[in-house]
Chains A and B, each alone.
Chain A
């Protein structure tokens, strides 16, 4: 099946609709290594970043276990991690190269959640969120530029508290 190529605002709308259908407090799409691409939910961007990084780590740990237990397992396979916590249910779905994480209420049907999460990765091309600049130079790369050092300093402007 060919994936739908949507613009970032359209992808955001898709995510919003799914979050709504699942009654999800949080729904996020990240790269397999935990960098947030898009999210829906009431948390701050910082929290979303942490949640994505932790979800990726949790999924990695799970995959280590699966690989240890089943010799024929593959690291890049689809895996679904379901955690029940007092606040609801956390689903982390690894569908390389993406990771989907949802926090849903324990009244939402798991089968529906699983299906919608899988559909998100199968039907849409999330790489639209990332700048298409394969193997280009870093936007900061300017070592040959006379102001390279100064630019490096800007990076740390106002970073330090003392």
Chain B
């Protein structure tokens, strides 16, 4: 988290992480629809092949001024496909918070687990093991959706990590997830302001 003195802005980076096709890009697309245009940039999707993310998606959102500072939130998604491991790690650098988008599909449990473990490793390698994390259980509409408790257990989620049910394709749960991670990042008493861009 950085403060730009001149522009009285607080810069925050949030990354949507998760297995392939879980709905990360869909979350940003829905936010783009829901957020008034004057408060956001266009959604930038780099190098997509069909609807698969190959590089990352990026959208910036400005929030209302609080305490004289205007938070500017950069939302990134990572590509879920296995071969983009390094890119996922790269996008996580400098993150202030993460939304893990899990796929509720019972058949995708292993993939959820693998990507969750991988994310924790990447975060630790960047010294970011303590940043806020929120989990979204997406695709609640699927007939074979796992129960929320089962998903929680499978990922060994600690109690303090909140989980939000969602059906991102219809915009359900998207707003709640976004607001939760933003609050978590901005309002946590221990959150740090860094004076130098090198310090994380």
Contact = CB atoms under 8 A, between A and B. Distances in A.
A156 B179 contact: yes
Given A50-B44, A133-B195, 13 more contacts: A8-B5, A34-B94, A37-B4, A37-B6, A45-B7, A97-B199, A127-B196, A129-B4, A138-B188, A141-B186, A155-B66, A156-B179, A161-B36
B99 interface: no
Nearest to A129: B5
B144 interface: no
Interface centre among A36, A54, A138, A148 (most CB of B within 10 A): A138
Interface in B26-66: 33-37, 39, 41, 44, 46, 55-56, 58, 60-61, 63-64, 66
Contacts of B61: 159
B4 A35 contact: yes
B198 A138 contact: no
Given A46-B41, A143-B189, A160 B66 contact: no
B175 A155 contact: no
Give the secondary structure class of B's interface. mixed
A115 interface: no
12 contacts: A46-B41, A54-B58, A60-B90, A64-B87, A97-B199, A129-B4, A130-B196, A137-B191, A139-B66, A139-B193, A155-B66, A159-B39
Contacts of B83: none
Interface in A1-49: 8, 12, 31-38, 45-46, 49
Contacts of B13: 33
Interface of A: 8, 12, 31-38, 45-46, 49-50, 53-54, 57, 60-61, 64, 96-98, 127-144, 148, 151-152, 154-162
Contacts of B18: none
A31 B196 CA distance: 8
A128 B196 CA distance: 9
B90 A35 contact: no
B94 to A, nearest CB: 4
A131 B3 contact: yes
A141 B39 CA distance: 23
A64 B39 CA distance: 33
Contacts of A60: 90, 93
B193 A138 contact: yes
Contact of A141 (B2, B4, B188, B198): B188
B188 A143 contact: yes
Contacts of A158: 36, 39, 64
